[in-house]
Amino acid sequence: MRTAVFIPVGLVSGYTFISTQPGIRNSHLLARQQPGGNLPGGAASCPFNPNHVPAVPVNAEFNYNGAISGLPGRGTGGYQVPAPNDTAHQFIAPTDQDIRGPCPGLNALANHGFLARDGVTEYAELVDAVQNVYNMGYDLANFLAVFSIYIADGDWVTTKLSIGCDATTRTSYSPVLTGSQPGLDGHNKFEADASLTRNDYFTHEGENFLLNTTLWAQMTESTGGLYDFAGLTNYRYDRYIQSREENSEFFFGPLGLFQYGAASFVYELMPNGNEGYVPNLENTASFFGAQQDSDGTWSSVPERIPGNWTNRVVPYTLIDVVTQIFLMYGAHPVGIGGNADGEFIGLDFSPYIQGGNLTAVTPEAVACFLYQFVSVPIPSTFNSIITPTVEVLQAVLVAIGGEAFTNLGCPLPVT
């Protein structure tokens, strides 16, 4: 995967299982519209740093999980991050040349130089950083990195990815051949509706990536400042209802399931061992970049790893996250699909989703569904350029985490 030689083309056409369903519009699935103007997240307004400085990797003195070069680290956490005296990874607020985006976990990594501080990262840097800092399991780190870079928002050849807006001139190996690479701000590619603290793309003219302090306050009030499974399960449901009512272009397809996974990161990856791993207000606010002012209102500041922060002890793996997705969705089942002409249309993706209901009956089945979902665009990605051999397709499916998923009992997707 790291030496891919394939040329990416529009991926959206791969999702025929969605686009051919009645009532589902192309606008739900089309790559982010970028008329070249100053739309938020577009190339014109994207910060530009001519001097890209990669993140400083771990070394013998400051070793963290020993994760380097995109390979698995030790997976043994419970240590302080950043390490005392590790000056390369101290907090520095981003400048107006630095890109930040919809993921608080990655924004915090960039603000601490575990990702390149300009917000343009690449495969190995990303997979290393989430292992070394948050003790994310290698299987999950690889899955998220491959999905975000290769399937959704980045470049196959350079493996580069913008953690926010469209930085194609810096991520793409050939902008003419690849077309625009939207970065993590790209809508309905990875970023999706009904986020915890980010606006929907459609209701806010494309501004889907900044911390919205009103939503943060809503999340804090709803959970009582304890952002645990119970609190976030209810709040996630509230956000789903809110978006479905307010957003005529609301789309909560397979990516909707990722939203539950992201919510679990709040109580699984962010809590501080020095505070008994309780996902409390002060700690969580620091990661989200929310600061309470003396009058009680909230303002936005750069995301920061809290002082004296100790990461989780055991890795957070793929099966762990799909288990949380399964449980959180199951506690408050909602329709999977989208609004079209004032009506909610449920999707079918048998046997996992039927009539807009998630019908997967185990966490493993949820994992297999996600594996199928991310694999669907692959044949169409190649077909218009080359006719892939079975061996090539198998190699890609394996890189996406084939072993991790087949270990969970998932069949290799039919291509």
Positions that interact with ligand NAG (CB under 6 A): 84-85, 199, 204, 212, 214-215, 274, 308, 335, 337, 346, 355-357
- The minimum distance between CB 391 and ligand NAG, in angstroms, equals 40
What is the separation of C-alpha 68 from the centre of its chain, rounded to a whole number of angstroms? 21
Site for ligand HEM, residues 183 to 202, rule: CB under 6 A: 184, 190-192, 195-198
| Euclidean distance between CA atoms 187 and 339, whole angstroms | 16
The binder of 84, among ligand NAG, ligand HEM, none, by C-beta within 5 to 8 A per type, is ligand NAG
Residue found under tokens 């970065």: 183
Amino acid at 407: N
Which of ligand HEM, ligand NAG, none sits in contact with 106, Cβ below 5 to 8 A by type? ligand HEM
The angle at the Cα of 170, spanning 165 to 172, to the nearest 5 degrees, equals 95
Q: Cβ closer to ligand HEM: 136 or 404?
A: 136
Tokens of 280: 């409390």
Q: Pick from ligand NAG, ligand HEM, none: which does 130 bind, CB < 5 to 8 A by kind?
A: ligand HEM
- Partner that binds at residue 87, options ligand HEM, ligand NAG, none, CB closer than 5 to 8 Å by kind: none
Q: Binding partner of residue 219 among ligand HEM, ligand NAG, none, CB under 5 to 8 Å per kind?
A: none
Q: Does 134 bind ligand HEM (CB under 6 A)?
A: yes
99 binds ligand HEM (CB under 6 A): no
How many angstroms separate the CA atoms of 256 and 173, rounded? Answer: 31
Which partner, ligand NAG, ligand HEM, none, binds residue 204 by CB below 5 to 8 Å per kind? ligand NAG
Interface with ligand HEM (CB under 6 A), residue from 8, 14, 73, 104: 104
Q: What is the DSSP letter of 173?
A: S
Residue 296 binds what, of ligand NAG, ligand HEM, none (CB under 5 to 8 Å, by partner type)?
none
Cβ contacts of 356 within 8 Å, gap of 6 or more: 335, 336, 337, 344, 345, 346, 347, 348
CA 335 to chain centre: 21
Residue 295 Cβ vs ligand NAG, minimum distance, rounded to whole Å: 18
Tell me the C-alpha distance between 355 and 349, whole Å. Answer: 9
Check residue 105 for interaction with ligand HEM (CB under 6 A).
yes
Query: CB of 370: closest distance to ligand NAG in angstroms?
Result: 19
Residues contacting residue 354 through CB under 8 Å, at least 6 positions apart: 348
- Exactly one of 58, 106, 366, 370 binds ligand HEM (CB under 6 A); which one? 106
Task: Kindly tell me which of 47 and 306 has the beta carbon lying closer to ligand NAG.
Answer: 306
Rounded Cα distance between 357 and 336, Å, is: 6
Q: Please, which of residues 340-399 interact with ligand HEM by CB under 6 A?
A: none
Q: At 90, which amino acid appears?
A: Q
**Torsional sign, CA 380, 385, 389, 395:** negative
Given ligand HEM, ligand NAG, none, residue 346, with its beta carbon under 5 to 8 Å by kind, binds: ligand NAG
Cα–Cα nearest to 114, from 96, 101, 127:
127
Which residue, 162 or 172, has its beta carbon nearer to ligand HEM?
A: 162
Using rule CB under 6 A, residue 262 touches ligand HEM: yes
Separation of alpha carbons 42 and 46, rounded Å: 6
Task: Choose among 183, 158, 163: nearest CA to 42.
Answer: 183
130 interacts with ligand HEM by CB under 6 A? yes
CB 409 within 8 A of CB 39: no
Alpha carbon separation from 218 to 242, 275, 298 (Å, rounded) = 12, 24, 11
Asked whether the beta carbons of 110 and 98 are under 8 A apart, the reply is yes
Q: To which H or E segment does residue 299 belong?
A: strand 298-300
Least distance in angstroms from the C-beta of 12 to ligand HEM: 17
DSSP-based three-state secondary structure for 187: strand
What is the DSSP track for 47-89?
A: ---SS--PPPPP-SSS-TT---TTS-------SBSSPTT-GGG
Nearer to ligand HEM by Cβ, of 143 and 382: the residue is: 143
In the list 29, 31, 103, 318, the residue contacting ligand HEM (rule: CB under 6 A) is 103
**What's the closest the beta carbon of residue 387 comes to ligand HEM, in angstroms?**
30
269 binds, among ligand HEM, ligand NAG, none (CB under 5 to 8 A by kind): ligand HEM
Binding partner at 158 among ligand HEM, ligand NAG, none, C-beta below 5 to 8 Å by kind: none
Residues that bind ligand HEM (CB under 6 A): 102-106, 126, 130, 134, 136, 144-145, 148, 184, 190-192, 195-198, 262, 265-266, 269-270
